[in-house]
A and B are shown apart, each in its own frame.
Chain A
Amino acid sequence: MKIPLSRIAHARSGDKGDLCNIGVIAHRERDYPILVRTLTAERVKEYFGCLVLGPIERYELPNLGALNFVLHQALDGGGTISLRTDAQGKAFGGAILLMEVEVDERELDPQP
């Protein structure tokens, strides 16, 4: 079944120059493998489409049940150069949470 990522994770995004990074964190540690399986760098790149011109790197933080995505050339030049309203990528975290991910219904069981 497909669910929005927000059902199993929360996120925060920010900037460094023209880079945007999005940390995605599983609400329950046991859902971290779902993030690892469904949120590939390719999938995230496809999701953000022409908003992100450069490549996307993914880093794993199993200790926090989190993934960190680094999006290159993501902010129209970034900082003061960017003409975007969201020159700092603050709204990217919310956007990724609306992405649909494929899970097995049993994975969402309330009991471990």
Chain B
Amino acid sequence: MIRIANGQGFWGDWLEAPVRLVEDGPLDYLTLDYLAEVTMSILQKQRQKDPLLGYATDFPPLMGRIAHTLKQRHVRVVANAGGVNPAACARAVRRLAPELKIAVVAGDDLLPRIDELFAAGHSFENMETGQPLAAFRPRIRSANAYLGAFPIAQALATGADVVITGRCADAALSLGPSIFEFGWRQDDLDLLAAGVAAGHIIECGAHSTGGNCLDSWQTVPDMASIGYPIIEAEPDGSFVITKHAASGGRVSEATVKEQLVYEIGDPRRYLTPDVVADFTSLHVCRLGDNRVRVTGARGTERPEKLKVSISYFRGYKAIGTLTYGAPDAYQKALAADQIIRERLARLNLHFDRINSEFFGVNAVQGGVVTAATPPVEVQLRIGVRGEDRAAIERFTREMIPLVLSGPPGATGYGDGRPAVREVIAYWPALLDRSEVPASVEIVQ
């Protein structure tokens, strides 16, 4: 049996979690998932400004902080912290944690080859809209294929203490160690599916240990020191989800099931680069306090093509707010919204969209859920987006004047005008596997 934990569900997750995982109990592998869909474009932008950046900068200091414990306790790390610049990430880790041996998995970055790939006839049709990518060529900011778990296993075989990847399937971070330890092969479809299910359960960190859980959340113990999830993986593919004994939070059938259905489509076809996992084959069973066993995973042949995550420039947006108190808070906010829209219309500005929300009434559940009594305080939140930066800039001047020239009592404008932000949007596509050769390099 090996223990594989996840200490970061995204870049910005709780900094103490990975430290607690390596210090507070037994562990063999620490995985860290830093990359959300749009993170790559942010990193690409940073790299364009500075060729030494483009990776998750939280990672090297973390390695420096825990290097001694990792060595002492024989814990190895697998992290997609490399972003769009795994080599620079590796050098930074080397500087802060010289005692760690590092291997880098590369090959996911398609941006330098994008024109060559277009020329070879790859159209990168948008998986959601069907549009071909070519017309958006000047707007492309990043393009990365999702690599699988086998290159990670290969990197572990070099004896590295730390494996740094760029874009790879989230579940691959923890599947890689199982492949390496148990010798699972490409045609061990059920075993790979088990590893994918386990990886999916832990990839969002405390999402499977009581965080963001709608099953009696009030009773989740000691969330302030919530434990992050650990897989106890067996060579036969069965596994237990647990957490360190002294930590807070809860591992139950409910917390595991909630994460299994998180961000999935057809549960019979959970697609990864290594296998198609069938989540309807899984049996979830409580073994004891904070121990849940998962068995029965079934898998089918991996997809022929790899998923590619592309980001592209999609104009600008700005979001502004004004807050109103009683009496008539909602009515005042509604009136303010009408005044602003009327003023914008008279300026003949073009926006792709104007969206108004009323906090306290319909901001996050769109009016689906309603209250019997009127709210005593309401925040008006107006967002605009479009291609014309000047129009968005002008919108940012139209909120605050209402403090003096609109309904009474407008407040909450202390931060001044809202900022105009670039919109970098996500473009999912597919690409032939043969176009994406992954490589493993040891960093000396």
Contact = CB atoms under 8 A, between A and B. Distances in A.
A3 B261 CA distance: 24
Given A16-B263, A17-B426, A51 B214 contact: no
A40 interface: no
B101 interface: no
Contacts, number: 140
Contact of B259 (A12, A18, A79, A93): A12
A90 B357 CA distance: 16
Given A83-B384, A85-B363, A59 B425 contact: no
Contact of A15 (B212, B263, B363, B423): B263
Interface in B249-308: 254, 257-268, 279-284, 296
A99 to B, nearest CB: 9
B215 interface: yes
A95 interface: yes
B192 to A, nearest CB: 19
A111 interface: no
The SS class assigned to the A binding surface is mixed
B355 A62 contact: no
Nearest to A69: B261
A14 B263 contact: yes
Given A68-B264, A94-B365, A10 B258 contact: yes
B344 interface: no
Contact of B262 (A12, A18, A80): A12
A30 interface: no
14 contacts: A11-B214, A11-B258, A21-B264, A25-B257, A27-B215, A59-B265, A63-B281, A63-B283, A66-B260, A68-B265, A81-B423, A83-B383, A85-B357, A94-B214
A7 to B, nearest CB: 12
B263 A51 contact: no
Given A10-B215, A77-B353, A85-B359, 4 more contacts: A23-B262, A23-B264, A59-B268, A79-B38
A64 B257 contact: yes
Interface string B313-346: 0100101000000000000000000000000000
Contact of A91 (B258, B259, B282, B364): B364
Nearest to B36: A79
Contacts of A65: 257
A61 B355 contact: no
A110 interface: no
Contacts of B37: 17, 79
Contacts of A79: 37-38, 425-426
Given A25-B261, A80-B426, A81-B423, A61 B279 contact: yes
B281 A23 contact: no
A101 to B, nearest CB: 15
Nearest to B351: A83
A97 B214 contact: yes
Given A25-B254, A64-B282, A97-B214, A83 B263 contact: no
A39 to B, nearest CB: 13
Given A10-B214, A80-B423, A80-B426, A85 B279 contact: no
A103 interface: no
A42 to B, nearest CB: 16
Nearest to A72: B128
